Structure 1
Amino acid sequence: MKFELKATDPNSSARAGVMTTAHGDIQTPIFMPVGTAGTVKAVHQREIKEDINAQIILGNTYHLYLRPGLDILKKFGGLHKFNGWDRPILTDSGGYQVYSLAGIRKIKEEGVTFQSHIDGSKHHFSPETVMDIQRAIGADIMMAFDECTPYPCEYDYAKKSMEMTHRWLKRCCDRFDATQPLYGYDQTLFPIVQGSTYKDLRKQSAEVIASFERDGNAIGGLSVGEPHELMYESTELVCSILPKDKPRYLMGVGTPENILEGIALGVDMFDCVMPTRNARNGMLFTTQGVINIKNKKWEDDQTPIDEHLGGYVSTFYSKGYLRHLVHCKEMLGAQIASVHNLTFYLWLVKQAREQILAGTFLEWKNKMVKHLMQRL
């Protein structure tokens, strides 16, 4: 993988770059739709590629390991062949999912033993097995195995967890470097910065992660309930330490305003389930603000969902029709809303990139954040 910076904003730390992977180039800053189990919920691959124009999607190691399982993925030749997606894929390590299974998992130095949320069967993830699983999935970008701490988190626990994450990273790198891709194309490994919201821990973790000199780096353990101000402070600190010539990925973030603020702090990559999850509940992100399509005020609205956005579903379907579908719990309603929200997110990062290239990002960002937070 290669990363080339094309421009930096003169008034912020925002950057525009190009990542080159075996399955194509990615123009940054970029948002990655989340395809947890090999699918972005309610969205066809053709729509992701042609309508939404996603340049990379995310898969989840934990879920793909459980279903369909590694044997099936290997028989198909990896996730790209299994789901028909021919652009880049990033897989998270399963660390966040293990974190969320607090009641049915045990964390030790050698790894994590957990029970499947599907059938209660016992499984074990170690840094080595997680590398092997992601080799089998065939992701272009693999994430190191880490422990995601909760918020709030006691300092001593955050420190011990961070130090274990660093030891796990060494084991991940050793396993990654000792093995080869299974499907004839290169893969790369991103370490993950931890340390909760403690500045000294975040600084230490960012320095350790940078010392491994991998192709890119991720910022984890944020967007887990902490105030946005703390998330921004931690992100700014970490971005000031991580190498400028490598992509930075802020994991699990977030709202449109979170993404714009993250870009301003020097982040290049984002992912979040919010656009599709909120879509299934009737919340739409638009160029004019946020819409709760369930509200009665949209019942007889004949205007397009978002005539300023572009894209088929956003300009073809009316707000009144979409409200009807969502109100009746028709599957098409979730599909339309999901495609629309993802189209908006990809539009937003594309607009940010254009503003960075033009040298006008900061002023545009400040206006856009206020504008997008409006409730219509």
Structure 2
Amino acid sequence: MLTHAVQATDGAARAGVLRTAHGEVETPVFMPVGTAGTVKAMTADAVRATGARMVLGNTYHLMLRPTAERVARLGGLHRMMDWHGPILTDSGGFQVMSLAKLRKMDEQGVVFRSHIDGSKHALSPERSIAIQHLLGADVTMCLDECTPFPATEAEAANSMRLSMRWAARCREAFVPRDGHGLFGIVQGGVYPDLRAESVAALRAIGFEGYAVGGLAVGEGQETMFRVLEATVPLLPADRPRYLMGVGTPADLVGAVRRGIDMFDCVMPTRSGRTAKAFTRHGALNLRNARHADDGAPLDPDCACPACARHSRAYLHHLFKAEEMLGPMLLTWHNIRYYQDLMRELREAILAGRFEAAAAAIESGWNAAKEPAA
């Protein structure tokens, strides 16, 4: 099965190695999002060049187009998208709730109409696991209901308990293979007692890893961190911990500080397509006129092509001219920045200086004074 070895701790922060069927991944790790079998605006070689070793695909999008069965016939998701490292697949539950039309959910699962063409589909725990198996995922996620925010305690409890029943069915449906694993997802909204109940239910079932879901959905960073502080210590210390759909660089530092090992988020890629760049000196908006005559690099300490070969003025020009190279270069830069951030945090944990490194990183972000959006 998939394993995770913790190599060092510094406070609650952890550095480790995740071992999968498609290689080892050092943690903490940020996984670029390749929702539909591609990290937007990037080739697989470009993603590898950023330092990324693990990416995410999505059950909902791939089951609709090109279909999981077609992906399997073509040799699996790794081969189709030319990605030789590990792949984690999201179960599709979040997208069903947020994108699908005319959805109907009950104990069996969800029936919905595609946001693409209105065609009718059913997604049960068993079907989600089967799709992820066809895709060839190294890490398979349980189907769950992402509890909306805000939700009353009763609403959050009902939602969480349904997800726990689905988790047990996912465990039964999952086919164990060497180097592959199934992750359970902790739900419970912003209620610590419900989060604790969810952890207990998942631990009783037993999973190769544990994710914290239902956060970064509008509750705010302070509340998210408070939920993590109540939840993460309850998770098994010998299993990887994954915070789903998070987030900003500040979110990542704060979550690593609280014991999270794995992350994914569309933010670096989506921001790259809208002229927002994350740097060690804060976030910058390359559409801003102040960059029009700036011959300096975006970040002189970054080795990505956007920084090593081009000026801020050129990047500004690309976005003003609506040239596709602009989003490509900034996406590359942002993913590289996230990978560099994870590496810096990992090295600090191994050296026993996490808090000093985190403080220096956070101080650097305050240097940017311009609007970032």
Tell me the TM-score range normalised by the shorter chain: over 0.9
Q: Does 1:326 align with 2:319?
A: yes
Q: Does 1:264 align with 2:265?
A: no
| SS, match of residue 211 in structure 2 | strand
What CA distance in whole angstroms lies between the structure 2 residues aligned with 1:207 and 1:15?
Answer: 22
Q: What pairs up with 1:85-164 in 2 under 5 angstroms?
A: 85-101=83-99, 104-164=102-162
Q: Does 1:357 align with 2:355?
A: no
Aligned CA RMSD, in angstroms, stands at 1.2
| SS, match of residue 221 in structure 1 | coil
Select between 301-310 and 158-167 the one with higher mean Cα deviation: 301-310
What CA distance in whole angstroms lies between the structure 2 residues aligned with 1:312 and 1:357?
Answer: 29
The structure 1 residue matched to 2:227, chosen from 220, 231, 234, is 234
Q: Deviations over 1:247-302 (max 9, x none)?
A: 10000000000000000000000000000101111110011111110000000111
| 8 Å CA contact 1:26, 1:56 repeated in 2 | yes
Partner amino acid, structure 1, of 2:332: V
Q: Does 1:198 align with 2:191?
A: yes
Match of residue 276 from structure 2: 283
Distance 1:131 1:332, change over 3 A: same
| SS, match of residue 223 in structure 2 | helix
For normalisation by structure 1, the TM-score amounts to 0.95
Match of residue 188 from structure 1: 181
Gaps of 5+ in 2: none
Q: Deviations over 1:86-123 (max 9, x none)?
A: 00000000011012137521110000011100001111
Report how many aligned residue pairs link the two structures.
Answer: 368
Shift of 1:372: 2.0
Shift of 1:209: 1.5
Q: Does 1:170 align with 2:163?
A: no
| SS, match of residue 189 in structure 1 | strand
Q: What pairs up with 1:204-219 in 2 under 5 angstroms?
A: 204-219=197-212
What CA distance in whole angstroms lies between the structure 1 residues aligned with 2:173 and 2:337?
Answer: 39
| 8 Å CA contact 2:280, 2:361 repeated in 1 | no
What CA distance in whole angstroms lies between the structure 2 residues aligned with 1:337 and 1:217?
Answer: 32
| 8 Å CA contact 2:276, 2:285 repeated in 1 | yes
Partner amino acid, structure 2, of 1:233: R
Partner amino acid, structure 2, of 1:40: V
Partner amino acid, structure 2, of 1:133: I
For normalisation by structure 2, the TM-score amounts to 0.96
Q: What pairs up with 1:63-102 in 2 under 5 angstroms?
A: 63-101=61-99
What CA distance in whole angstroms lies between the structure 2 residues aligned with 1:302 and 1:277?
Answer: 25
What CA distance in whole angstroms lies between the structure 2 residues aligned with 1:209 and 1:331?
Answer: 45
Shift of 1:211: 2.2
Select between 40-49 and 308-317 the one with higher mean Cα deviation: 308-317
Select between 200-209 and 21-30 the one with higher mean Cα deviation: 200-209
| SS, match of residue 164 in structure 1 | helix
| 8 Å CA contact 2:53, 2:86 repeated in 1 | yes
| 8 Å CA contact 2:25, 2:53 repeated in 1 | yes
| 8 Å CA contact 2:100, 2:113 repeated in 1 | no
| 8 Å CA contact 1:6, 1:18 repeated in 2 | yes
Identity within the alignment, %: 46
What CA distance in whole angstroms lies between the structure 2 residues aligned with 1:352 and 1:129?
Answer: 38
Q: Does 1:223 align with 2:216?
A: yes
| 8 Å CA contact 1:99, 1:149 repeated in 2 | no
What CA distance in whole angstroms lies between the structure 2 residues aligned with 1:13 and 1:275?
Answer: 26
Select between 88-97 and 302-311 the one with higher mean Cα deviation: 302-311
Match of residue 42 from structure 2: 43
| SS, match of residue 54 in structure 1 | coil
Shift of 1:375: 2.8
| 8 Å CA contact 1:33, 1:58 repeated in 2 | yes
Match of residue 245 from structure 2: 252
Shift of 1:74: 1.3
| 8 Å CA contact 2:305, 2:329 repeated in 1 | no
Shift of 1:236: 1.5
Shift of 1:310: 2.0
Q: Deviations over 1:117-141 (max 9, x none)?
A: 0001111000000000000011100
Structure 1: which 4+ aligned runs deviate by more than 6 Å? Answer: none
| 8 Å CA contact 1:74, 1:137 repeated in 2 | yes
Match of residue 4 from structure 2: 3
| SS, match of residue 191 in structure 1 | strand
| 8 Å CA contact 2:32, 2:266 repeated in 1 | yes
Q: Deviations over 1:5-26 (max 9, x none)?
A: 11000xx200000011110100
Gaps of 5+ in 1: none
| 8 Å CA contact 1:239, 1:265 repeated in 2 | yes
What CA distance in whole angstroms lies between the structure 2 residues aligned with 1:86 and 1:210?
Answer: 31
| 8 Å CA contact 1:239, 1:267 repeated in 2 | yes
What CA distance in whole angstroms lies between the structure 2 residues aligned with 1:222 and 1:80?
Answer: 29
What CA distance in whole angstroms lies between the structure 1 residues aligned with 2:99 and 2:316?
Answer: 35
Shift of 1:210: 2.1
Q: Deviations over 1:134-155 (max 9, x none)?
A: 0001110000000001110111
Shift of 1:373: 4.6
Shift of 1:208: 1.5
